[in-house]
A and B are shown apart, each in its own frame.
Chain A
Amino acid sequence: MIGNLPTVLAQGGVDWISFDIGRLVDQFWYNTVNGLAYGSIYSLVAVGYTLVYGVLKLINFAHSEVFIVGAFGAYFTFQFLGYESGGIAQAPLIETIVNLVLALAVAMICSGLVALTLERVAYRPLRRKKAPRLVFLITAVGASFAIQQAIMLWRNPNPELAIQLVAPQPLFEVFGVSVTNIQLTVFLAALVLLLVADSFINRTRLGRGIRAVAQDPDTATLMGVNKERVIMLTFVIGGLLAGAAALFYIMQIPQGVVYNGGFLLGIKAFTAAVLGGIGNLRGALLGGFLLGVFENYGQSLLGGQWRDVVAFVVLIVILMFRPTGILGESLGKARV
């Protein structure tokens, strides 16, 4: 009966949701460090969303699949290099670094190629027909779906057996929290890549082309910018960064190589992009780190099973109250 409702909600213990401020405070620094390491992955993927949105005003829904293809690329590179699943490889440091760089290159190339193909095969015909935005979005959803399912049919629905090149080892402590070698590497490498991307957009000739098209495609074309090439470049940059993110992701979560592993991460990265201000490269960076950290705080506060809900709630709240995000500046207006 309806009168049972309170008992029903308490069923299976009352701790299905908590509001544990003590735990939040206790784990604050731990969560911050962890969150930044995760957040750098979100940032890298978010750049892909933000660049494409800035130039085409399109939510590239299939970007999550661009990411996961990179993860598979890195995984198969590991296999090719002779690493076995299960246990942690014990290779000399130099060899490990070389292999990681190789995997990084392969992942970036795979993702970049998928992004480029997607642009050429799916989106370009629509642009030629001047299709409305919803048509683009539906195409993106379809592409995401198709790539995901193709991977599933190829590899089966189970995650690939984890391959771990490096064991996480604590390097040093910040605020009483140990930072592992993996976290530090991922954070620094992501930061470097993001800075490279940022200066590419802001300081090079090609980057100026991207900003010009984002601001006003027609005028940019009149000024001699090749719009089609700029759009291709945008997808490729987004793809390359997503590929890098994919390698960092499977370094942290070796069991994450699965056909639908990109979906949730894609939504979160999109949330990060919106949080920082979609269309704004530095916004993607900020949003990624913030979301990574918020997610961990939420997990401490409400319980681990609510981790993913936090991201969705952040997305909804931001879109409702400040859809332009924190930095709110568009790619076209970014200062040099």
Chain B
Amino acid sequence: MNAHHFRSGTATKVPFGQRIRDWWNGLSRFHQWAIIIPVVVLVYLMPFLNFFPITTEPGTDFELALFNTARIVLIAIGLNVVVGQAGLLDLGYVGFFAIGAYVAALMTSRDSALYAEYPWLLVVVVGIAVTMVSGVIIGTPTLRLRGDYLAIVTLGFGEIVRLLADNIPALRGNVGFRNLERPPGEWSDGTRIFTQGDGIPWYWLTVTAIIAVLILVGNLERSRVGRAWVAIREDEDAAEIMGVPTFRFKVWAFVIGAAIGGLSGVLYAGQLGFVNNARFDVVTSVLFLAAVILGGSGNKVGVILGAIVIAYTPERFQVVSEYRYLIFGLALIVLMIFRPQGLLGARQRLLARGRQAYKRLVGKPEPVSTESPMKDAGKRTGV
């Protein structure tokens, strides 16, 4: 039974989640910030909260576990743009992640013939640019398809990216690229800040990237682009009729998602210092998707939560680590039966000025619908 059923019934009891949401919406912008800032500070301080319930078991590095979790969170936010906001099921997202990682490898590993002493920030920029271009290249032919056909074709493209890495000798297949350049900077005692072993700087860098991406995506969500995405997600035909250039905005969703995936790939490659053709398979794509679906596709807080569950539980509990793919596969089945909208579903809500206007006119915050964004997806025709 989901939250929606409670509310539509005669019961006057408001579920806990709903109360939290109403309370949050009732706060002024100032009060919201007053809560967000301490939370962000707490997130930055996480590496120092290395004690019992949070910390990892011996043998797993806590700081690196935090970095890996943050990396998956970043990926989930990117995939959420494609799957959650625009409603395009992408099973080949790992392809963009791979492209980002390979750009970093090709530019900064001495094993690569393209190696030169590029500034690290340039690598990030080029990595993002290349993945965006590949988003256009992959999106333009495929995004004319819909629903499950789109899913299968993106899966095909994801596999093609992997097979290219296998087959093109310049990409060095299983041998891979070693000794990738890391971001510059030294501590006062002259040692490098960014090393493979120390997760803290990488964690902070990734959290900063997450915050930047969240601000960017949040702004997009409230803009014309975001409204177009919601319209496409809810009913593509209706959106088209209302004059939304659906194809163009779908490509945009793909490209923005790709850029975030690419960024995350660059960070991953940098921390590991090594890139080869492993870890870019469909299993990884499905794991990313599981994070988004589990948390609640279309809900940014939800997907962050989902990614933390997916990435951190195996690091925290060794037992889970071995069975994680099985557990997450079963979780997807169970979730789809009992709570298809995920832990926190997407909310239908007024955006920006509409929200302020509602509050001023009605005198209380707008009600937030908990309808699943997947609710009407079935009405779309196949091709």
Interface residues of A (CB under 8 A from B): 1-2, 4-5, 7-9, 11-13, 16-17, 57-59, 121-122, 125-126, 129-139, 141-150, 153, 263, 267, 270, 305-306, 308-309, 312-313, 315-316, 319-320, 323-324
Interface presence of B356 (CB below 8 A): no
Instruction: Return A230 CB to nearest CB of chain B, in Å.
Output: 20
Instruction: Return B89 CB to nearest CB of chain A, in Å.
Output: 6
Docked-complex contact A150 and B142, CB < 8 angstroms:
no
Provide 14 A-B residue pairs closer than 8 Å at the C-beta atoms, listed in order of the A residue: A4-B113, A5-B114, A8-B113, A59-B151, A122-B337, A132-B374, A132-B375, A132-B377, A133-B380, A134-B377, A138-B89, A146-B326, A305-B163, A323-B149
Residues of A within 8 A of B330 (CB): 142, 146
- For B137-162 the 0/1 string (1 means CB < 8 A from A) is 00001101101110111011101100
A59–B169 CA distance with the chains assembled, in angstroms = 35
Among B31-39, B262-270, B282-290, which stretch is in contact with chain A? B282-290
Docked-complex contact B170 and A12, CB < 8 angstroms:
yes
Interface presence of B383 (CB below 8 A): yes
The 9 A-B pairs with the shortest beta carbon distances in the complex, nearest first, are A142-B332, A12-B169, A132-B378, A146-B329, A145-B329, A149-B326, A312-B156, A132-B377, A149-B325
Docked-complex contact B332 and A319, CB < 8 angstroms:
no
Docked-complex contact B333 and A316, CB < 8 angstroms:
no
Docked-complex contact B286 and A137, CB < 8 angstroms:
no
Docked-complex contact B169 and A1, CB < 8 angstroms:
no
Docked-complex contact A133 and B156, CB < 8 angstroms:
no
Other-chain residue from A11, A131, A146, A309 in contact with B336 (beta carbon distance below 8 A): A131
Docked-complex contact B333 and A139, CB < 8 angstroms:
yes
Residue of A nearest to B336 (CB): A139
Residue of A nearest to B147 (CB): A133
A305–B171 CA distance with the chains assembled, in angstroms = 14
Docked-complex contact A135 and B151, CB < 8 angstroms:
no
Interface presence of B122 (CB below 8 A): no
Residues of B within 8 A of A1 (CB): 114, 116
Docked-complex contact A138 and B293, CB < 8 angstroms:
yes
Interface presence of B174 (CB below 8 A): no
Instruction: Return A195 CB to nearest CB of chain B, in Å.
Output: 28
Residues of B within 8 A of A131 (CB): 336, 340, 378
Interface presence of B57 (CB below 8 A): no
Instruction: Return B377 CB to nearest CB of chain A, in Å.
Output: 4
Residues of A within 8 A of B91 (CB): 141
Docked-complex contact B377 and A306, CB < 8 angstroms:
no
Other-chain residue from A132, A138, A305, A316 in contact with B166 (beta carbon distance below 8 A): A305
Interface presence of B167 (CB below 8 A): yes
Chain B 250-306 interface residues, beta-carbon cutoff 8 Å to A = 282-283, 286, 289-290, 293
Docked-complex contact A145 and B286, CB < 8 angstroms:
yes
Residues of A within 8 A of B169 (CB): 11-13, 16
Instruction: Return A299 CB to nearest CB of chain B, in Å.
Output: 12
Instruction: Return B267 CB to nearest CB of chain A, in Å.
Output: 23
Between B114, B155, B337, B375, the greatest number of chain A beta carbons within 10 A of the residue's beta carbon is seen for B337
Residues of B within 8 A of A153 (CB): 322-323, 326
Instruction: Indicate whether A138 sits within 8 Å of B382 (C-beta atoms), given known contacts A263-B282, A305-B166.
Output: no
- Main SS of the interface on chain B? helix
A122–B87 CA distance with the chains assembled, in angstroms = 22
Residue of A nearest to B159 (CB): A312
Interface presence of B237 (CB below 8 A): no
Instruction: Return B150 CB to nearest CB of chain A, in Å.
Output: 9
Instruction: Indicate whether A134 sits within 8 Å of B378 (C-beta atoms), given known contacts A1-B116, A270-B152.
Output: yes
Instruction: Indicate whether A126 sits within 8 Å of B289 (C-beta atoms), given known contacts A12-B170, A133-B378.
Output: no
Interface presence of B328 (CB below 8 A): yes
In the complex, number of A-B residue pairs with CB atoms less than 8 Å apart: 158
Interface presence of B368 (CB below 8 A): no
A137–B156 CA distance with the chains assembled, in angstroms = 16
Instruction: Return A130 CB to nearest CB of chain B, in Å.
Output: 8
Between A121, A146, A315, the greatest number of chain B beta carbons within 10 A of the residue's beta carbon is seen for A146
Residues of A within 8 A of B283 (CB): 145
Instruction: Indicate whether A139 sits within 8 Å of B113 (C-beta atoms), given known contacts A132-B377, A153-B326, A308-B163.
Output: no
A142–B293 CA distance with the chains assembled, in angstroms = 11
Residues of A within 8 A of B238 (CB): none
Instruction: Indicate whether A319 sits within 8 Å of B149 (C-beta atoms), given known contacts A141-B91, A149-B325, A153-B326.
Output: yes
- For B191-211 the 0/1 string (1 means CB < 8 A from A) is 000000000000000000000
Interface presence of B331 (CB below 8 A): yes
Interface presence of B121 (CB below 8 A): no
Interface presence of B376 (CB below 8 A): yes
Instruction: Return A265 CB to nearest CB of chain B, in Å.
Output: 13
Interface presence of B168 (CB below 8 A): yes
A323–B383 CA distance with the chains assembled, in angstroms = 7
- For B334-373 the 0/1 string (1 means CB < 8 A from A) is 0011001000000000000000000000000000000000
Residues of B within 8 A of A270 (CB): 152
Instruction: Indicate whether A135 sits within 8 Å of B152 (C-beta atoms), given known contacts A8-B114, A57-B382, A142-B330.
Output: no
Docked-complex contact B148 and A145, CB < 8 angstroms:
no
Other-chain residue from A135, A147, A306 in contact with B340 (beta carbon distance below 8 A): A135
Docked-complex contact B153 and A141, CB < 8 angstroms:
no
Chain B 20-61 interface residues, beta-carbon cutoff 8 Å to A = none
Residue of A nearest to B382 (CB): A57
Residue of A nearest to B379 (CB): A132
Residues of B within 8 A of A130 (CB): 378
Instruction: Return A269 CB to nearest CB of chain B, in Å.
Output: 12
A132–B235 CA distance with the chains assembled, in angstroms = 13
Residue of B nearest to A3 (CB): B114
Residues of B within 8 A of A147 (CB): 329
Instruction: Indicate whether A305 sits within 8 Å of B167 (C-beta atoms), given known contacts A7-B113, A153-B326.
Output: yes
- For B108-138 the 0/1 string (1 means CB < 8 A from A) is 0000111010000000000000000000000
Residue of B nearest to A305 (CB): B167
Between A134, A146, A319, the greatest number of chain B beta carbons within 10 A of the residue's beta carbon is seen for A134
Docked-complex contact A59 and B325, CB < 8 angstroms:
no
Instruction: Return B158 CB to nearest CB of chain A, in Å.
Output: 9
Docked-complex contact A267 and B155, CB < 8 angstroms:
yes
Docked-complex contact B374 and A134, CB < 8 angstroms:
yes
Docked-complex contact A145 and B328, CB < 8 angstroms:
yes
Instruction: Return B376 CB to nearest CB of chain A, in Å.
Output: 7
Docked-complex contact B378 and A316, CB < 8 angstroms:
no
Instruction: Return B189 CB to nearest CB of chain A, in Å.
Output: 35
Instruction: Indicate whether A132 sits within 8 Å of B376 (C-beta atoms), given known contacts A8-B113, A305-B167.
Output: yes
